Chain A
Amino acid sequence: MSMKHATMTTDAYQALNRRDFFKTAGALVIGFHAAGNPQQASAQNPIGGAPYPTVPLTATDSWVAIAADETVYVYSGKCDFGQGFRTVQAQLAADELYVPFERVNMTICDTAITPDQGVSSGSQGSPTQFGPSALRQALATARETLLKMAADQLKAQVSELQIINGVISVKADSSRRVSYGSLVGGKKLSTAISAAAKFKDPATYTVLGKSIPRLDVPSKVTGEFEYVQAVRLPGMLHGKVVRPTRQGARVVSVDESSVKGMPGNVKVVVKKDFVGVVADREWDALQAAQALNVTWTGGTTLPAFDGIYDFMTKQPTRKAFIVNSGDVDGQLKAAKRTFSATYLHPFQMHGSMGTSCAVADIKGTGTAATGTIYAATQGVYPLRDAIATVLGASTNNLRVIFKEGSGCYGINGVDTVAYDASILSQAVGKPVRVQYTRRDENVAGENYGPAFVMRLKAGVDDKNQLTAWDYEGFSFSKGGRPTGNAAANIISGELVGLTIAAVAPNTTPTVPAAFSNNSNAAPAYGTGTVNGVSGSTGVLRNERVLSHTIQSPFFTGPLRSPNRLQNSFANESFMDEVAAALGEDPVQYRLRHLADPRLIDALKQAASAAKWETRSAPKRGNLRKGKVTGRGVAVLLYEGNNGYSTVIAEVEVDQDKGNVVVTRFVISQDSGPVSNPDGLRNQMEGGTLQGMSRALREEVRWDDFGVTAADWRKYPVFQFGEFVPQMVTVPINNLNATQDGAGEGAITIVAAALANAIFDATGARIRQVPFTPQRVLDALTTRGAGLPLAVAKPVKWDGFSREVVLDGSGSVEPANGALTYQWRSVGSSQAAIYGAGQSKATAQFSSGPGDYTFELKITNAAGDSDTSSITVTYSGR
């Protein structure tokens, strides 16, 4: 998919393949990896007779080409799903090559054109492209190669040259100059990416670091943008799938007569348990799919929805330590106090706005099959390989072209639907477009984010310092991202009869060779010590983090911040529980256990932006009925090494109805140098609100007949019409650091920040996502009594009279019980107090003009007390 300036080229999906481009684009400096050999470059089948050889990563030419008209063509294997990464990569190219941003033409993710960079996922886009062996390195190599060529031509040393807007000139005499385009006119050059090529210093960026408007926004808001859903090929037919409603059901029979005579030249396609129809129009295909009579076997029995968490802890599991250091059991025994809690997280779905769609044009069968697939996939090469497995085709005969779909947030149905379109197209010998119904997408299209049970234990010493942390988590797994060897990682692969190995239980947990916190199962407070080497940045030495994986009844796979989100909900909720039980401020208590300066900074910056008031939770004086407010915090070192985030949530909880309304989010993010500040803010805002939706609303439900979460009513998300929180974003531009991921930081810790805020407001701890009104109401029934709040103030007074009335009647006892009051004069100037045991007392200044401080202590029937002080200035007479 090509895009230049503000609009997409309309012929994007009839995109030239790489060779055609080189024939038409004229003279190039650095181009096609085979460009060093003109014969190869123009040959129809340059490598091994296959039409679409894999584009190698190691050749500079795979990444960048410069046309005679000075256009810089950049080829990237990292896609964009609306996060703006296409724009950021163009910014990078403009900066590293010293050309105007408008001159860069990005092509992303096409197996015939772009290098094989696997999948675009896991917040690895920026770390990869800005890292040592990908796009930035290729651009730096290209720049250095151009400089050397210019030095030869201009008869100067490279050190004497400068580059301004793609023109290389001699600094001392800028009339000695040559542009990129003219420099390489007629010549072709092939270089390997040089590890020695130097990056531009981020401090000198002129394009990166600016909020360049995204390239795709204008065409998206005017409807011109061509999503994969809008790909229309000549002679294209429309397909729909017919899925079993129950998991594991197999085809017994397909009654083709049930669709006989229906409009649109309906064809039924059956490939083992894969069933689909093809017709002239989408409407015809939809009606035929609904009418087609398929008899299925009963399928597998699902574990009961209501008992799922109990079920999870009683299965054979595959066990693995993430870390197991120090003496956790001994420390728990020796601890001054210990704490424990269990957290539950449901299956959730990507629930993309647009249902998944793909268009495939496959001709021929077996290894002779060839064709092109347009898909909104996160990995064009892995998908190509997987479709080759499904069709029995040769990988190099297939071309997968990325076309943006709706936001996917991980592995939604885009890969599966690409299989479906390919199978149907091959069966009918025509291009076929398949777009799922909402039910297809939700029930039998995507791989869900798995449910989790997380048991936490901790011990503290007599200084309230954590001495031991013990995590045990249980989660589901089945399938994942498709590859050539694991084409059954998604449903259509299984339906055509491919298989993947089930989760193999073990008795002894596996032990890692080194610390890896990719799933954030370990908190940021530990040292992450494995084999004597510390891999994390916290201070806590005694850590045991054990994960159990169970065979899943449903397909599972990466959903935005996979596993990290579930684990961080538990870890960051638990840290808050410990702090609250100890009467510690949640920010201060975290700071005491962190050593990483960047994480500390992210936390402090968010706390300062939120005007965080240092105190323990729950908030004193909140009544136990009606609406109350509170705040909560959570921090994250994403994946253990990929970005630093803090989220502070402010909520209003209706204690009569159980509703939670978030009034404000404050979010900080340090992902190294900020490429596009506005783009980063957009990601932080969107991720946070999506996290809120997941925390408050989202849960995949099922019954005996299968998944019931088939539409937006059965799978509710945060919608318009509901209160939109105020969003305060604090991007931290850390120019001295490497580029980290930024799209999944905030979302990972929203649930914990909200649970902590709900606790602060109500004193009730909610440990199960989503925080539906009923769960909130249930949590309220088990909370402790509310804490009294002392409020001392002077009654309006002239500053000269010798007496002042001290008023403590604004103090709050949440349970509405009796309070006792005790006033005293503290500080150097002492006053006499009359009625010191009353809510209102009178102070008489006995020692002349000066500042007088009075303290009110209130105590409720349960013995809980609070103090409040006021200082008044007596001017005397």
Chain B
Amino acid sequence: MAEVKLTVNGKAATADVDPNMPLLNLLMEDLGLNGPKFGCGLSQCGACTVLLDGEPIRSCVTPCSDAAGKKVTTIEGLGTTKTPHRLQQLFIEEQAVQCGYCISGILLYGKTYIDKNPRASREDIIQSLTGLICRCHTHSRMVKALERYAQEVGK
């Protein structure tokens, strides 16, 4: 066991955990977050995606020790139902989920890519999501919401 200090969604957090434990477990169990989710534990689906110092990573295969001293952002850190992030708002407008279990990966990979590549094309956006799964196959709506976001960021 070791004390892991990190910043999660702008707040300092400390947890006494096995440093080899996946970061996902710390976020879910110690901090009670619901955004990142367990889908495979194998880095194959993206349900557990969070931003680590601004870059999307798979928290199911990232040991807590790797997050020590770093900034973690989950989809809760983007916005809330009262004040959603613009991208979350676009997903609401496009009704771009079904079960929504996959949403962390789609939002965080998509946002990171588009923020760096404003005016990304539809094909670029789809490519940037490679390695993510949405088993409800809500692909066309998700891509549409991200395309709208890209158009707005690119303005």
List chain A positions with a Cβ less than 8 A from chain B: 6-7, 81-83, 213-214, 216-227, 229-230, 232, 263, 281-283, 351-355, 404-407, 409, 435, 437-438, 678-679, 682, 685-690, 692-693, 711-713, 717-727
A720 shortest CB reach to chain B, Å: 4
Chain B 34-55, CB-CB to A under 8 Å as 1, else 0, gives 1111111110110100000000
B67 to chain A, nearest CB (A): 15
Taking A83-B98, A282-B28, A406-B99 as given, write out 12 further A-B residue pairs in contact, using a Cβ cutoff of 8 Å, ordered by the A residue number.
A217-B92, A222-B84, A223-B75, A225-B34, A406-B102, A407-B135, A686-B138, A711-B42, A713-B44, A720-B132, A721-B127, A721-B131
> Are A353 and B136 in contact (CB-based, < 8 A)?
yes
Of residues 90 through 105 on chain B, the ones whose CB sits less than 8 Å from some CB of chain A are: 91-92, 95-104
| A693 and B134 alpha carbons, distance in the complex (Å) | 11
Give which listed residue, A83, A352, A689, contacts B137 with CB less than 8 A: A689
Given contacts A355-B38, A355-B39, contact A225 B100 (CB under 8 A): yes
The residues of A that contact B81 with a CB separation of less than 8 Å are 6-7, 218-219, 222, 224
| Contacts known (A224-B81, A283-B25); A727 close to B37, Cβ less than 8 A | no
How distant is the Cα of A83 from the Cα of B97 in the complex, in angstroms?
A: 9
Closest to B18 in A: A283
A225 to B138, CA, bound (A): 18
- Please state if A221 and B91 are interface contacts (CB–CB under 8 Å): yes
B33, CB-defined interface residue at 8 Å:
yes
A227/B139 contact (C-beta < 8 A), A221-B103, A712-B133 known = no
Contact B98 A682 (CB under 8 A): yes
* Chain A CB within 8 A of B32 CB: yes
Q: Kindly state whether residue B120 has any CB partner on chain A within 8 Å.
A: no
Q: Identify the 6 closest CB pairs spanning chains A and B, nearest first.
A: A223-B35, A721-B130, A82-B99, A220-B100, A406-B101, A689-B137
Q: Nearest chain B CB to A514's CB is how many angstroms away?
A: 36
Tell me the minimal C-beta distance from B117 to chain A in angstroms.
16
> Chain A residues near B18 (CB, 8 Å)?
263, 283
Any A CB within 8 A of the CB of B107: yes
Indicate which residue in A224, A232, A686, A711 contacts B98 across the interface (CB closer than 8 Å).
Answer: A686
Which residue of chain A lies nearest to B85 when distances are taken between CB atoms in the complex? Answer: A222
CB pair B98–A222 under 8 Å, yes or no, is no
User: Which one of A82, A214, A406, A713 has the highest number of Cβ atoms from chain B below 10 Å of its Cβ?
Assistant: A406
| Residue on B nearest A219 in the bound complex, by CB | B81
Residues of B within 8 A of A685 (CB): 137-138, 140-141
Q: Which of B35, B36, B39, B126 contacts A353 (CB 8 A)?
A: B39
Return chain A residues, CB-CB under 8 Å to B34: 223-227, 230
User: In the complex, A721 Cα to B110 Cα: how many Å?
Assistant: 12
Nearest-neighbor residue (CB-CB) of A82 within chain B:
B99
Chain B: which residue is nearest A81 at the CB level?
B99
B68 interface residue per 8 A CB criterion: no
Give chain B's interface residues, CB within 8 Å of chain A: 17-18, 21-22, 25, 28-29, 32-42, 44-45, 47, 74-76, 78-81, 84, 88, 91-92, 95-104, 106-107, 126-127, 129-141, 143
Asked whether B101 lies within 8 Å of A720 as measured between CB atoms, the reply is no
A-B contact pairs, 7 of them (CB 8 A): A213-B92, A220-B103, A222-B76, A223-B35, A283-B22, A692-B137, A727-B140
CA distance A687 to B137 in the complex (A): 7
Q: Which residues of A contact B99 (CB under 8 A)?
A: 81-82, 220, 353-354, 404-407
State in angstroms the CA–CA spacing of A727 and B140 once bound together. Answer: 7
Residues of A within 8 A of B100 (CB): 82, 216-217, 220-221, 225
The answer on a CB contact under 8 Å between A223 and B131 is no
Known: A224-B80, A263-B18. A682 touches B95 (CB 8 A): yes
A263, A353, A692, A723 interface centre (most CB from chain B within 10 Å): A353
- The reply to whether B98 and A407 contact each other, CB–CB distance below 8 Å, is yes
Q: B80 to nearest A CB, angstroms?
A: 5
Q: How far is the CA of A588 from the CA of B98 in the complex (A)?
A: 36
Contact A720 B92 (CB under 8 A): no
Complex Cα gap A598–B127 (Å): 40
- Assembly CA distance A727 to B36 (angstroms): 29
The one of B32, B38, B129, B136 in contact with A229, judged by C-beta atoms closer than 8 angstroms, is B38
Measured between beta carbons, the chain A residues less than 8 angstroms from B138 are 682, 685-686
Tell me the smallest distance from the CB of B122 to a CB of chain A, in Å. 8
Instruction: For A404, list chain B residues within 8 Å (CB).
Output: 99
A839 → B minimal CB distance (Å): 39
Q: Which B residues lie within 8 Å of A438 (CB)? A: 39-42, 44
| Smallest CB separation, A753 vs chain B (Å) | 16
Known: A221-B92, A721-B130. A353 touches B101 (CB 8 A): yes
Roughly how many angstroms separate A352 CA and B136 CA in the complex, as a whole number?
8
Q: Are A689 and B44 in contact, with the CB atoms below 8 A?
A: no
- Minimal Cβ-Cβ distance residue in A for B133: A719
Q: When chains A and B are docked, how far (Å) is the Cα of A7 from the Cα of B133?
A: 26
Chain A residues near B104: list those with CB within 8 A. Answer: 223
A355 to B127: give the CA distance in the assembly, Å: 26
- From A213, A232, A721, B32 is in contact (CB under 8 Å) with A232
Return chain B residues, CB-CB under 8 Å to A214: 95
Q: Which residues of B contact A226 (CB under 8 A)?
A: 34
Most chain A CB within a 10 A radius of its CB, from B40, B47, B127: B40
CB-CB under 8 A from B28, the residues of chain A are 230, 282
Name the residue of chain A whose CB is nearest to the CB of B26: A283
Of A223, A712, A723, chain B has the most CB atoms within 10 Å of the CB of A223
Point out the residues of chain A lying under 8 angstroms from B96, CB to CB.
221
Rounded to whole Å, the gap between the CB of A167 and the closest CB of chain B is 30
Bound-state CA distance A353–B105 (Å) is: 12
> CA A205 – CA B22 in complex, angstroms?
51
Q: Are B136 and A217 in contact (CB under 8 A)?
A: no
For residue B47, which residues in chain A have a CB less than 8 angstroms away from its CB? 353-354
- CB of B136 within 8 A of CB of A686, answer yes
Cα–Cα, bound, A441→B140 (Å): 27
B88 touches A221 (CB 8 A): yes
B84 touches A678 (CB 8 A): no
* Chain A residues within an 8 Å CB radius of B95: 213-214, 217, 678-679, 682
Look across to chain B and name the residue whose beta carbon is closest to the beta carbon of A441: B40
Partner of B134, one of A218, A355, A720: A720
Contacts of B136 in A (CB 8 A): 82, 353, 407, 686, 690
Kindly list chain A residues whose C-beta atoms are within 8 Å of the C-beta of B137.
685-690, 692-693, 718
Residue of B nearest to A216 (CB): B100
Q: Of A6, A226, A686, A687, which is in contact with the most chain B CB atoms at under 10 Å from its CB?
A: A686
Report chain B residues within 8 Å CB of A686: 98, 136-138
| Chain A: minimal CB distance from B133 (Å) | 5
Q: For B129, what are the chain A residues with a Cβ–Cβ distance below 8 Å?
A: 720-721
Nearest CB to that of A679 among chain B residues? Answer: B95
Given contacts A717-B133, A717-B135, contact A689 B25 (CB under 8 A): no
* Partner among A282, A688, A711 whose Cβ is within 8 Å of the Cβ of B29: A282
Inter-chain contact A407/B101, CB cutoff 8 Å: yes
Contacts of A229 in B (CB 8 A): 37-38
Contacts of B88 in A (CB 8 A): 218, 221-222
A717 cross-chain contacts in B, Cβ below 8 A: 133, 135
Interfacial chain A residues near B106, Cβ < 8 Å? 720
* B53 CB to nearest chain A CB (Å): 19
Task: Give A200 to B100 CA distance when docked, in angstroms.
Answer: 33
A223 to B106, CA, bound (A): 13
For B74, give the chain A residue with the smallest CB separation.
A223
Assembly CA distance A390 to B91 (angstroms): 42
Identify which of A216, A221, A355, A689 gathers the most chain B CB atoms within 10 Å of its CB.
A221
Bound complex: CA of A216 vs CA of B91, how far in Å? 12
For A435, the chain B residues whose CB sits under 8 A away are: 38
CB-CB < 8 A to A83: which residues of B? 98
Say how far A6's CB is from chain B's closest CB, in angstroms. 6
A451 to B135, CA, bound (A): 21
Q: What is the CA–CA distance of A687 and B103 in the complex, to the nearest angstrom?
A: 18
Q: Complex formed: what's the CA distance from A678 to B97 in Å?
A: 12
Asked if A223 and B38 sit within 8 Å, CB to CB, the answer is no
Q: Which residues of B contact A224 (CB under 8 A)?
A: 34, 76, 80-81
Contact: B25 with A217, CB < 8 Å?
no
Query: Which chain B residues border A722 with CB–CB below 8 Å?
Result: 126
